[in-house]
Each structure stands twice: as C-alpha cells, then as structure tokens.
Amino acid sequence: MAHAAPFDREIARNVIAALKHLPGATLPILHALQDRFGYVDADAVPLIADALNLSRAEIHGVVSFYHDFRDAPAGDHVVKLCRAEACQSMGCRDLERHAEARLGVAMGATRADGRATLEAVYCLGNCALSPAVMIDGELYGRVDAARFDELIDELGVGR
Ligand code: FES
C-alpha cells in the first residue's frame, strides 16, 4: 500500500472548507481527511470543530466511534479481521490470536517496523464465507491459520 501524504494543516483546512457546508459534514470531512492522509491527525480535530461549531469532544467521539477511522498512520499493509457474529461463530477469535502472533502486533496496532497494521472490522459482508479477512482492500473468505500465513507470506511481511 502506498503511503499517504504527511499531515498538513493547510491542506486539512482546505478539505474542511470544501465540505463543511454539507449536511452532516463531520463524516464526509473525516473520510476525506483519512483518504488524503491515511488517518485523522489529532491536529485536525480542533480545525473540524471550529469549522462546524462543534466541540472537540464531539469530533473526537465520532473518530473513536467509527472503526473505519485511524488516529495514526497505517503500516505498509493493512490486515483487517472480521469480528462480527458470523465470523465469531466460525472461530475468528482464534484467528485473531494467530494473526497477532504471526505478525507480532496486537489488534488495533501497527508493527514497530511499519510493515503491517492489524485491525478489527465488524462485518465485511462476507458472512457466508467466514471467517473473513481483508488485506489491503482484498477480501478473503474461510481463512484459517494456514491460509492466513500463506496470505501474509505473499506480502513478504517478515516476522
Ligand atoms: S460477520 Fe464477518 S463478514 Fe459478516
């Protein structure tokens, strides 16, 4: 995955200015900032709050409520494991533990070498083929530990 541009307050201001007139502008602004920078920088929160006449706590609450938003840059590869009901019934918790061990990083974190980020998602719409995994935007179904290792090996992410 290509690295997004580094956070820049002026660019963030422009993004916010372009979208702040939309109804319910918070979500479109957050999505646009994450698309631009790969995450929502903490410095963007007061800019959004000022532009929308909302409190910083309200904006921060939206960022933390939606699992799609990151508050730090992602690694080179983003590995998402589904944690919703169908995948739970097919053993996604075991797969999580395996993934954490294989990648050497906890759920919700990025490896120290920046090679991979491991995240939970709550349904990828692939419930019939659970447990479901998404790697760099590609969806995979019925992923067991062995298949997970194959997929990670293909990325060339070391241990
Ligand atoms: S519950 Fe995992 S893909 Fe729907």
pLDDT digits (tens, 9 = 90+) for 27-78: 999 999 998 998 999 999 999 999 999 999 999 999 999 888 988 899 999 9
Q: Which range marks the domain in which residue 36 is found?
A: 9-65
Of 136, 157, 133, 137, residue with least CA distance to 145: 133
Tell me the CATH number at 84.
Answer: 3.40.30.10
Same domain, 82 and 147: yes
Same domain, 100 and 146: yes
Which residues does ligand 1 sit against, CB inside 6 Å? Answer: 82, 84-87, 123-127, 130, 132
User: Cα 129 to chain center, whole Å?
Assistant: 21
Same domain, 19 and 85: no
**Ligand 1 mutation pick, 82, 89, 93, max ligand atoms within 8 A of CB:** 82
The verdict on residue 55 lying in a domain is yes
What is the pLDDT confidence band of residue 92, given thresholds at 50, 70 and 90? very high
Same domain, 86 and 143: yes
User: What is residue 114's three-state secondary structure?
Assistant: coil
Structure tokens given for 4: 């997004």
Average pLDDT over residues 121-127: 92
Residue 90 has pLDDT above 80, yes or no: yes
The verdict on residue 30 lying in a domain is yes
The verdict on residue 71 lying in a domain is no
pTM for the predicted model, two decimal places: 0.80
What is the pLDDT confidence band of residue 3, given thresholds at 50, 70 and 90? low
